[in-house]
Chains A and B, each alone.
Chain A
């Protein structure tokens, strides 16, 4: 279980589309900063900034080799975010499914309301 502050940091990190795209890329495999920067019309510096945010949120880890510092996805914090959302999803999905059936029922046997 992450702490409140950690989860906030993760949410803040995920709030940016460029950072989500970087994570999606890393989900396919490790990549260097150059490789990550390629698809984006922004500077390497800007990409580095995003990586720093992701690193602080614990969403990526980076190799320590000066020449080759691949970024790697660290999925644990994402799992915490997902679990948090998942509690809501399950809670409401069960109800909404039931509502769906009930609405069908109501419309099949129209009666005064």
Chain B
């Protein structure tokens, strides 16, 4: 992993989360990694096998299934906006909690051969957001006093 790979996550307003991450690769490559199923299956599943359907155009839909030892998890969405190598707006829905849909806006900028990816997740309603919290999407997230410390330090 590159040394500058700082992953930052912060709430914004009352319905958004903003995530930023720098990748040590040119923007075209990072873009391809995010939109080409052949690339996606190499990383999205975190090492688990993936089944990927992707219709990478405005109005197109995608569906990712991660086959993990604990079972399959499926995610799906629709592409709402697409500017190649720059920006994609798409919905994101975990099939384990259908109907709770976030809208993710991902923007890529390149500087000095490195690509900054900024993703803003906007929840459509309080119910959706609550559903996501209640889902316990990552069970380990409960005892996050450490994260609390880090968060307090940033306040």
Contact = CB atoms under 8 A, between A and B. Distances in A.
B98 interface: no
B148 to A, nearest CB: 5
Contacts of B130: 3-4, 7
B148 A103 contact: no
A92 interface: yes
A88 B17 contact: yes
B14 A8 contact: yes
A104 interface: yes
Chain A interface residue count: which class?
35 or more
A96 B24 CA distance: 12
A113 B151 contact: no
**Size range of the interface on B?**
35 or more
Main secondary structure on chain B at its contact with chain A?
A: mixed
Contact of A101 (B9, B32, B43, B121): B43
Q: Which of A15, A94, A103 has the most CB of B within 10 A?
A: A103
A78 B151 contact: yes
A92 B83 CA distance: 22
B10 A103 contact: no
Interface in A79-107: 79-104, 106-107
Nearest to B117: A96
Contacts of A99: 23, 30, 33, 43-44
B70 to A, nearest CB: 14
A92 B137 CA distance: 12
Nearest to A94: B46
Given A85-B17, A103-B25, A90 B46 contact: no
Contacts of A21: 155
B129 A90 contact: no
Contacts of A7: 129-130, 133
B19 to A, nearest CB: 6
12 contacts: A1-B134, A7-B130, A8-B126, A75-B152, A81-B151, A82-B148, A83-B133, A85-B10, A87-B133, A90-B141, A100-B1, A106-B29
Interface of B: 1-2, 5, 7, 9-11, 13-15, 17, 19, 21, 23-25, 29-30, 32-33, 39, 42-47, 117, 119, 121, 126-127, 129-130, 132-134, 136-138, 140-142, 144-145, 147-148, 151-152, 155
